[in-house]
Amino acid sequence: MAGGLTDLIQRATVYRHIYRQSQGNHVFPLIAAHGALWAGGHFRFGRRLAAVLKWQSLRSSVRNARMARLEEFMNSLREINRRVCVDTYANFHFTARHGVELNVQEFVPEDLCLALQKVHDAIREGRTLTNDERLEVFSAHFLNEQEHVVGPTVQKAFERLDWPVVEAFARRPRIRFAYFSRGDHLTFRNFADREDRIRNGKLAFQFAASTGWANVEQALRKFEGVPEGVLRPTLVAVAPLR
């Protein structure tokens, strides 16, 4: 269901499905859906910029090698998004079906188990988590992905890029998701720095909470190529939650 490397809309669909299955309590996947869709446009811009910058070298072999390394770099970031999508779906449904006991924690870290338990309890009780509770769940999930998926892969990807001018651009993206209010954006000093990513992740949550979760969900419509079906109630067939 997470698709191939370039299936960003497919992953956004799965992310949004998880958000809906959680009855709006698990907001990490909703924000991740925006991240996946924003990345598509960012990659296209980066490729166009690199196509101009490559002419700084007169040697075709150097130009071709740099463009190849850029594509490998972008594929590494796409693979991060794909793996995070897989983790998010599996962890949510696995803990929903099997609880968060010690045997489950062999597969899902304890802190993430406990955070997801808040979501599953709220679903069973028919209540909505407060934004403070949502932030606890978001932070546990976000930090888990930074530790096990994002951090190691991002660092290796930058090491292999070996194109200083493009690397400088890649390390300092200026991110503006579709749900941001006028003037809101995420600014990175160094995208490869874990603390910088954590700071901006929490800021993305704050912007979403201020905007309102229904508005964040509806803002998915703003991305080019997103089909109307992305906003339907049921997107992927799954077994019912416990």
The 10s digit of each residue's pLDDT in 72-107 is 999 999 999 999 999 999 999 999 999 888 788 889
Sign of CA dihedral 64, 36, 185, 148: negative
Report the distance separating Cα 16 and Cα 8, nearest Å: 12
The 10s digit of each residue's pLDDT in 16-69 is 999 999 999 999 999 999 999 999 888 888 888 888 888 888 688 888 998 999
Q: Residue 43 is encoded by which pair of tokens?
A: 């990659």
Query: Bridge-partner residues for 174, per DSSP?
Result: 187
Closest CA relative to residue 166, chosen from 19, 36, 68: 68
The 10s digit of each residue's pLDDT in 129-184 is 999 999 999 999 999 999 989 988 998 999 899 888 899 999 999 999 999 999 99
Domain ranges of the chain: 8-231
- State residue 232's pLDDT score: 55
Sign of CA dihedral 208, 214, 217, 219: negative
- State residue 56's pLDDT score: 81
Closest CA relative to residue 210, chosen from 167, 165, 173, 179: 179
Tell me which long-range contacts 56-64 makes (C-beta under 8 A, separation of at least 24): 56/165
Residue 159, amino acid = E
